[in-house]
Structure 1
Amino acid sequence: MSWSIRGAGASRSGRPPRRAAVVVASMTAAAVGLSVLAGGTAVARPGSGAGAAGVTGAAAKTTGGTPAVTRAALAPSLVAGRGADVDFAEQEAESAATNGTVIGPDRTAYTLPAEASGRQAVRLTPGKYVEFTLPRAANAINVRYSIPDAPGGGGITAPLDVTVNGKNRSTLTLTSQYAWLYNQYPFSNDPGADLLHPDWWITECACVPSATTPAPVISKPFRPNHFYDEQRLLLGKTYRAGDKVRLTVPAGSKAAWTVVDLLDSQLVGAPRVRLDAANVLAFGADPSGRRDSAPALDRAIAFAKRAHLKVYVPPGTYQVNRHIVVDDVTIEGAGSWYTIFKGREVALSTPAPDGSVHTGVGFYGKDAAAGGSRNVHLSGFAIEGDVRERIDTDQVNGVGGAMSDSTIDGLYIRHTKVGLWFDGPMTNTRVTNNVIVDQIADGLNFHTGVTRSTVSNNFVRNSGDDGLAMWSEKTSNANNTFSHNTVQSPVLANGIAIYGGTDLTVSGNLVADPVREGSAIHVGSRFGAEAFAGKLRITDNTTVRAGTYELNWNIGLGAIWFYALDKDIDADIQVTGDHYLDSTYNAIMLVSDFPVKDLYSIKNVRFKDIRVDGTGTSVVSARVAGSASFENVDARNVGAVGVNNCGSFNFTPAGSEFALTDLGGNDGGGTTGPWLAPWELPNTITCDDRPPVVVPPAPTTW
């Protein structure tokens, strides 16, 4: 922890550059990633952590049993009442019938299994299939998949045949045009690119390249990531429970391999019809998608505001290549499977005042500096963007701007930079029942002065940065809640991240499978955020397979981690009722960075009624000054000593600078005995800087 990374400052719609990381310096990340791509075998690296053991791909059974419906690759009973209540059934490919090859489990960044739900998937070559048995009636499916990039980047397309009970064949056109990023933050689409930041620390060579002679030679492609995409399909009729959906790679496919991660099946209702509204067709909108419908939408919105009507968008695909500015208006679609706004990313002739160099499809409130928008209600449609690279100054988000007293409900947002990025000040907005997938950056971010707002029952998968975030840059967010959301497989950063703020709540969420440079739940004093104040309540959340390897520090992160980088973390913080399942390293981490270890602390965090089922190392890892209390924290299958207490690494005669208080009822542990042993209290130094990892068993009913 004795180094820091240089980089540029924060941009308008993105955070400062993150530290680049790989898994083990002695082997290149690209080599491990490509070993999976070429051979279907997940190759482990020494010290890569729990669940990272290599599993040679073997043909799975070609007959299936009872359909296995999961939530984040877990039995639903393990997460009852937590996460989003969705209207689709999730089934993992590795549990389906296949004559393909199962890859994983592996949690090593830059590999296909690591980015898969449950850290496993199925690899198909032409002629091979995976077959799912429908658990209930369905007329629509969604496939999460990966196919190779083009040799020079930019992606390819390839077919995937879909049959039901051996009949009614249709073909999905898969693409890797929105996947496959490489190199250092903010990444490149070019697999042959040299280092984007030659003055940054590179863990592969344990050096700062610009200060190294000779300059390091990196393997190319360097750090491949963001492999997966999703594709939806209406089947044209309703099929019954027990019917077989087979996905087959046809002979002659341009894709040397196709990896299928999972299938979501769904019974989609009829399109919603609203007659007492301003129908966009009457204003010239084109549901075929051939003509630009943005001007027609503007006209419909203007008329609806004058006539005090809602705007209705019937089924169709509408081409929109810029922001639709919304204020004091309701826009309803026929449902997210039927009403689709789809647009190209358009280069601007000159940069916009906010620094954007592109525009694209999105619904935006007015800028907060112009007073923002109010009374905006968006529901029942899809936003399909065309964002293929990360440019943090670009405003190419699905929903953006400032919207107070507003609701966003039932949207499907894909291929934008951030699904929903709100720049406050703004207040009293509800974001509910949305599906946000395949983003280049965050799923949702409350940025700067968002207050009295709620994000509830949303499903986020494959975000390129934090799944859900509150970032109190310059002005605190306050009185906001993230409740009962599901976040799966964030490729970079955290499932749920809170950067400063006042009186905030994170409750009832399910977070699974973070991949790199973050974990499931994060409380961070960083990125220039305002200090934490008032109450922070983290309650009744479940994390699974969380805790990535932070390679700049060369340590594993906790499923939940607190990080004091810019300021002390000293507020009324209570973590209650959380379940941390199958944590790759430790369940709970409190940490600071080495250059500021004697400046900032994390104080008086209270943990109560916690269940820890499986850790690769400890229950608690303390690498900071400060204190925490523990009450009714029960643990089992703990891989190392219960408390790894390094404090702030001064190793004083008085003990660690971090103190633990036992409030009773802290039971269980692992092979080393009780996780919170009397001899560890209050501040015994038990510091093992990089403890060995013991792979925990799969979680079971408590």
Structure 2
Amino acid sequence: MSLAPRWPGVPPRWAIAVTASAVGLGVLTGVPAAAAPTAAVVTRAALDPALVAGRGAAVDFAEQEAENARTNGTVIGPGRDAYTLPAEASGRTAVKLTPGQFVEFTLPSAANAITVRYALPDAPGGGGITAPLTVTAGGHRSRTMTLTSQYAYLYNQYPFTNDPAAGLLHPDWWITECSCVPDATNPAPEIDKPFRPMHFYDEQRLLLGRTYRAGDTIRLTASAGAPWTVIDLLDSQRVAPPKVDVWAANVLLFGADPTGRHDSAAAFDRAIAFARKARLTVYVPPGTYQVNRHIIVDDVTIEGAGSWYTIVKGHEVALDEPAPDGSVHTGVGFYGKEGGSSGVHLSGFAIEGDVRERIDTDQVNGVGGAMSNSTIDGLYVHHTKAGMWFDGPMTNTRIAGNVIVDQIADGLNFHTGVTKSVVRDNVVRNTGDDGLAMWSDAVTDAGNTFDHNTVQTPTLANGIAIYGGTDNTVSGNLVADPLREGSGLHVGARFGAEPFAGKLIIADNTTVRAGTFELNWKIGLGAIWFYALDRSIDADIRVTGDHYLDSTYNAIMLVTEFGVKDQYAIDGVAFRDIHVDGTGTSVVSARSAGSASFRNVDARNVGAVGVNNCGSFNFTPDGSEFTLTDLGGNDGGWLAPFVPNTITCDDRPPVVPPPAPAPW
């Protein structure tokens, strides 16, 4: 979800100058090869792993940022302005290569597989380009990785277009451009194009053919196939051999083609039907299987040889006429049956879609429908609309250990009546909307948990968002680098969601470089953002043990939509045992009536003022309509001068980039 309703605010004073190159934008700082470190520097969300110990997904790969590697290219960034290459990079910094230039990583441990996150220019008329990248492993053996920008580059207004020359999609919408937006997004978009380029990055995986030792190097050399190539990061890992199941219903026996030349959808259907009768698992051995429609699953287990070996890949197919649900395309995906499925278990394969545009009515998600009493683990979901979108009612489903990357919309969404389900240890990167979301649309989501996931670089909206619901939990997650119109963590009474009720527990999460600039409102958001638009937020909400690191603007923000500011409030939110290390502006920004309490909330490196309290903008003689309660132990001197309701409203606080996070 995105497109927050609009009310006045003010652009920030902190902006980093950018240089435009076609529609690929970046801050340029020359770094000669000799100056870059050659030792293996392993990070998590571009941070020292010690700063996020015990948080985020447990993963089997080592993340290395390109800016920490040896290169004769150019470091771009850091920068956080929307529509620029640095802003969408992990850690807000990457390396730009011209043809023949390289970036070279030193392996921190044995590896036989790599993932490269990169960006290429778009084609002049849109649609992307393709270019090779030379991968030299161990200093001698070279292979070619094919990069493409065909799945990148969205422009214009929501729901966006792939055409850089398109006129405004919504000419009647208020266009909000200001000094915070680079020159390439011109304030007269009906004249100068492209307008609002975004979603620059993609990633590609490669099996290296052998295992390389710790200390060996992986060199990535840009080709002349593109005027420039940006390398953001390298993930390296040691992939286990393919899994074999000789006692299963093997899809090859039912006519599936592992070369990908012929459509295997019907063969999958036959294998599933047989396996259900025989009470067997469906096994999909190594290969690439072309599937161009939904595979309907119910009471069945489907396992691949591992997501690096078993790839289910399909084209997006235009329908002859719209489906009853409004879809105008179909594509590869595993879906619950109409009315809901149960006992579905999916594991060990990749789903490679072909979605290049956002059409919200299309059901072209990697996994979809309703699946109760089910498990989904070990999948790699790439280039679908939403990685996993569940339309309930459904209950008791566990989603764990998956990688969901490069989506046009959400990574995962529990939509409508999902209960008692868990999302744990998943990696979500480069989504076009919320990374993880629970949306209680008409029917309440209840008793669900998002636990120990890593969400990085959502290009629109939030890392993790909860829209209404009862007794849900968000715990132990790591969220980094949201880009536009969203926050690291979001609690929203919006999009027609059912009210918050019972308890909402937000505990032991870490956000870093979160809190984007809201272009509609022209204000900076918080690393965690509460927003009352459709109704008040007054459930039992407890935020405990979170760490908000290097927040671009505020750490904590509570907002009621201006048009209903005297009707709705955000009341009774309890913050406990919080660390705030670095804010561009404030620890707390309150733009609502209501209240919050604080115990052991420690803050340092605060850019402007501890509390920016506007209340509901009536500026009464008795103070703000938002009350802060100091329950003790709030170190750093950020809170005491402003309780209970001192008005400190400033739409234009000076933004001071904080220092890098450090151990507390």
TM-score (norm 1): 0.91
Decide whether aligned partners of structure 1 residues 638 and 135 sit closer, same or farther in structure 2, where only a CA change above 3 A counts.
Answer: same
Equivalence for 1:326? 297
CA RMSD of aligned residues (A): 2.1
Matches within 5 A, 1:30-429: 35=20, 41-42=26-27, 56-61=29-34, 64-204=37-177, 217-250=190-223, 253-367=224-338, 370=339, 372-429=340-397
State whether residues 32 and 111 of structure 1, in contact with CA within 8 Å, keep that contact through their aligned partners in structure 2. Answer: no
Cα distance in 2 for residues equivalent to 1:114 and 1:644:
26
How far 1:552 moved relative to its partner?
A: 1.4
Shift of the 41–464 alpha-carbon distance from structure 1 to 2, 3 Å rule, reads closer
Query: What is the one-letter code of the residue matched to 1:701?
Result: P
Is the alpha carbon distance of 1:620 and 1:26 closer, same or farther for their aligned partners in structure 2, counting shifts above 3 Å?
A: closer
Write the distance in 2 (CA, Å) between the matches of 1:239 and 1:577: 40
Deviations 1:295-339 (A, max 9, x none): 000000000000011100000000000000000000000000000
1:231 partner amino acid: Q
The residue that corresponds to 1:8 in the other structure is none
Q: Residue 363 of structure 1: SS of its match in structure 2? A: strand
Structure 2 equivalent of residue 526 of structure 1:
494
Q: Which residue of 2 aligns with 1:624?
A: 592
Give, as a single letter, the amino acid of the residue that structure 2 aligns with 1:461: R
Deviations 1:416-445 (A, max 9, x none): 000000000100000000000000000000
Would you say the 8 A contact 2:167–2:189 is kept in 1?
Answer: no
Q: 2:631 aligns with which of 663, 680, 684?
A: 663
Give the C-alpha shift of residue 21 in structure 1: 12
Contact kept, 8 Å, 2:26 with 2:86, in 1: the verdict is no
2:625 is aligned with 1:675: no
- Report the CA distance between 1:16 and its aligned residue: 7.3
Q: Alpha carbons of 1:155 and 1:38: their partners in 2 closer, same or farther (altered >3 Å)?
A: closer
Distance 1:171 1:297, change over 3 A: same
Deviation at 1:165, TM superposition (A): 2.8
Residues 16, 110 of structure 1: alpha-carbon distance in 2 compared, 3 angstrom cutoff: closer
Instruction: Please report how far the alpha carbon of residue 135 of structure 1 lies from its aligned counterpart in structure 2 after TM superposition.
Output: 0.2
1:19 Cα offset (Å): 6.1
**Structure 2 unaligned blocks of 5 or more:** 180-186
- The CA deviation at 1:17 is 5.3
- Distance in 1 of aligned mates of 2:416 and 2:305: 33
Check conservation: 1:71, 1:90, Cα contact below 8 A: yes
| Partner in structure 2 of residue 51 of structure 1 | none
2:533, 2:433 → 1: CA distance? Answer: 19
> Which residue of 1 is the match for residue 182 of structure 2?
none
Distance in 1 of aligned mates of 2:24 and 2:298? 53
* 1:684 partnered with 2:646: yes
- For 2:325, give the aligned amino acid: D
Are residues 451 and 580 of structure 1, via their aligned partners in 2, closer, same or farther at CA, if it must alter by over 3 Å? same
Q: Residues of 2 paired with 1:554 and 1:115: CA distance?
A: 20
Contact 1:20 1:185 in 2 (8 A): no
1:537 matched to 2:537: no
SS at match of 1:182: coil
Secondary structure of the corresponding residue to residue 390 of structure 1: coil
AA partner of residue 364 (structure 1)? Y
Query: Judging changes above 3 Å, is the alpha-carbon distance between structure 1 residues 21 and 176 closer, same or farther for their aligned structure 2 residues?
Result: farther
Q: Is 1:700 the counterpart of 2:662 in the alignment? A: yes
Q: Between the two proteins, what is the percent identity of the paired residues? A: 76
- Pairwise CA distance, 1:623: 0.2
Q: What does residue 417 of structure 2 align with?
A: 449
Deviation at 1:61, TM superposition (A): 3.5
Report whether the alignment pairs 1:564 with 2:526: no
Partner AA of 2:100 in structure 1: G
Provide, for residues 451-479 of structure 1, a one-character-per-residue CA deviation record: whole Å limited to 9, x for no partner: 00000000000000000000000000000
For 2:455, the equivalent position in structure 1 comes to 487
Contact 2:10 2:521 in 1 (8 A): no
In structure 2, what is the Cα distance between the partners aligned to 1:17 and 1:556? 15
CA distance in 2 between partners of 1:305 and 1:33 (Å) = 58
Q: Provide TM-score, normalisation by structure 2.
A: 0.96
The number of residues matched between the two structures is: 656
Aligned to 1:47: none
Superposed CA offset, 1:603-645 (max 9, x none): 0000000000000011000000000000000011011110000
Q: CA deviation at 1:405?
A: 0.3
Query: Post-superposition shift, 1:551?
Result: 1.7
- Does the CA contact (< 8 Å) of 1:141 and 1:263 recur in 2? yes
Letter in 2 for 1:409: D
Deviations 1:217-263 (A, max 9, x none): 4431000000000000000000000001000013xx23100000000
- The change in CA–CA distance for 1:166 and 1:347 in structure 2 (over 3 A counts) is same
CA 1:216–1:469 in 2, change beyond 3 Å: closer, same or farther? closer
Q: Is the 8 A contact 2:537 2:569 kept in 1?
A: yes
Residue type matched to 1:380 in 2?
A: G
- CA contact 1:547–1:586 (8 Å) conserved in 2: yes
Secondary structure in 2 matching 1:587: strand
CA 1:69–1:20 in structure 2 vs 1: closer, same or farther (change >3 Å)? farther
The residue type paired with residue 676 of structure 1 is: L
Contact 1:37 1:112 in 2 (8 A): no
- Contact 1:491-1:515 at 8 Å conserved across structures: yes
